[in-house]
Amino acid sequence: MMIIPTVLVLPFPGQGHVNPMMILSQKLVDHGCRVIFVNSDFNHKRMMSSMVEQQHSLDESLLKLVSIPDGLGPDDDERNEPGKLLDAVFSTMPRTLEKLIEDIHMKGDHKIGFIVADLAMVWAFEVASKFGIKGAIFCPIAATMFALLCNIPKLVDDGIINSDGSLLTTKKTIQLSPNIPEIDPRLFFWLNMPAGKTDFMQCSRILNSIEWWLCNTAYELEPGVFNFVPKILPIGPLLRSYESTNATSRSLGQFWEEDLSCMNWLDQQPHCSVIYVAFGSITIFDQSQFNELSLGLDLTNIPFLWVVRQDNKMMFPNEFQGHKGKIVRWAPQEKVLSHPAIACFVSHCGWNSTVEGLSNGVPFLCWPYFSDQIYDKTYICNELNVGLGLNSNENGLVSREEIQKKLDQLISDENIRSRSLKLKENLMNNKGRSLENLNKFVKWLKE
């Protein structure tokens, strides 16, 4: 009789973490596993309300969606500050996860054999070990950032950082290995989250006891990292499969309902004519910067599709015409990026958006908000050469003129477009190596 392994999947409670881990969960189900997907209560409610039409088709015997508290109230503003959210998660979730596993085992339906936990939830392995549960760490950011985290003890020994993760060096750049791009130490991603109590030294210690290190990347994207840290296994790019689904179906794992009307609108636009503007789930602009962005899009006189989240508190400036554009609250991003009408992507450079844009051969106008996004922007512009960055003026604002100038430059640059398409071709032609890694992991689960 074939054994169906039961895998508990635990993302950090953020949209950019839930998305790739939901795609991974669906792939595990396709490969004959049973998955229990654990969201925070707050995100579980959002996710369920955004997918009303799919609930009847969700096979709960194979993919079960459950939740536990994350330590914050539904109206708590700290939810939008990753460092403070990390604190709340770290002080609440270990206890509630342990209780969830106990309850599942007491019911005796399906004993959890394995756990796949987000890199930011590395504490979960100490909980899992109490039940004899083995598992894999999943990295939703660039493998280079994962390698940086793995090398924290060496960074301490080399006098680059203190044992609490704070910066010691005055060097402008460091290089983990000759084949990995240089990194500005001032941009180490944990420095942007000063409130987070996650002990990075402890994180490194726990990592070494975990057998599988999975990452949403590909050999073709970050070739130098895998020689340096061979334990990191690329299983990406993790993309949704739309071939078998209806064009009107929404993506499982979204916190907001996708506005599918933008797809019909894109169908009416000429090939390679639309600017896609989306800044992920937590980027916040002040009113002055929001005005400049609005008026910069107007100045280009080019059609644009702009995602302005429903939690956006900014007002559109009076002068904003917007007649060439379409504004939605949330978009089916992978479908949008694969649409032939898209000319370029104005992005915060979160790793999911980066992977999705690169996989579709779309040039980037990079506007990072914080953390690892700043590294991703440098990698897109300086290493892959498939994007441009923006410069701020003396007031710290990216002006409407700068936005217009860079968009005009990006859209007219045939070399950037051709490199983007070449990279897409490489990624799509070599998907087999990532699939082999995933198959290897599934085989281990089943054994």
Q: Could you tell me if residue 158 is inside a domain?
A: yes
Are residues 404 and 439 both part of a single domain?
A: no
What Cα–Cα distance (Å) separates residue 410 from each residue in 238, 270, 346, 389, 426?
27, 17, 10, 10, 22
Domain total in the chain: 2
Positions of the chain with pLDDT lower than 50, given as ranges: 197, 243-245
Are residues 306 and 386 both part of a single domain?
A: yes
Are residues 353 and 434 both part of a single domain?
A: no
What Cα–Cα distance (Å) separates residue 194 from each residue in 79, 83, 149, 374, 377?
15, 6, 16, 16, 22
Q: Could you tell me if residue 166 is inside a domain?
A: yes
Are residues 124 and 265 both part of a single domain?
A: no
Are residues 72 and 194 both part of a single domain?
A: yes
Are residues 15 and 75 both part of a single domain?
A: yes
Q: Could you tell me if residue 424 is inside a domain?
A: no
Are residues 220 and 272 both part of a single domain?
A: no
Are residues 134 and 61 both part of a single domain?
A: yes
Q: Which domain does 227 fall in, by range?
A: 6-240+430-446
Q: Could you tell me if residue 178 is inside a domain?
A: yes
Q: Could you tell me if residue 209 is inside a domain?
A: yes
pLDDT of residue 82: 76
Please give the backbone phi and psi of residue 204, each rounded to the nearest 5 degrees, phi first.
-60, -40
pLDDT of residue 72: 87
Are residues 125 and 273 both part of a single domain?
A: no
Are residues 206 and 284 both part of a single domain?
A: no
Do 192 and 184 touch, CB atoms closer than 8 A?
A: no
Do 16 and 372 touch, CB atoms closer than 8 A?
A: no
pLDDT of residue 197: 40
pLDDT of residue 204: 73
CATH label of the domain that carries residue 378: 3.40.50.2000
How many other β-carbons are positioned within 10 Å of the β-carbon of residue 441?
21
Are residues 210 and 97 both part of a single domain?
A: yes
Are residues 90 and 45 both part of a single domain?
A: yes
